[in-house]
Structure 1
Amino acid sequence: MDDSVRALRAQYGGTLPGPVEALPAPHRRDLAAVLDQARSRQQRELQESTDASLAALPKPLRALIRKALGL
């Protein structure tokens, strides 16, 4: 098993679908890179939207809401 399969399994969280494992190694590496970029972008956008939502709240409530959300 090469590094591209390990990387994809780690990102996928388990066994990969057969067609994905059947991809040539360069395509698996590309897929792993694209998925990594997508997760990074998703995490950044979620953080930005959370911050924007909290900014709409009155200041005295922000700390309470952050604590309640576990942020």
Structure 2
Amino acid sequence: MSQIRLAKLPDRTPVRLNVSLNPELAATLGRYAAFYHVAYGSEETVADLLPAIVAAFLDGDKAFGRWCRDAADRRT
């Protein structure tokens, strides 16, 4: 088998989640979608923006990142 530099792509099958939001958070997310539209000129739904918002939040949480690295170290 030949060596390939690119690793095999991970499973990219979307996972659907149903969540309930309080009215204040739903309104805030709606305003964020409007802000995104003004910033980029692209109108996106809250449902389309939410995965990126959650990913950005998790990527920016340094304590969570350390915890994940430590957990990975414990498994090896």
Structure of higher RCO (CA pairs closer than 8 Å, 6+ residues apart): 1
Structure ranking higher in helix proportion: 1
TM-score (norm 2): 0.31
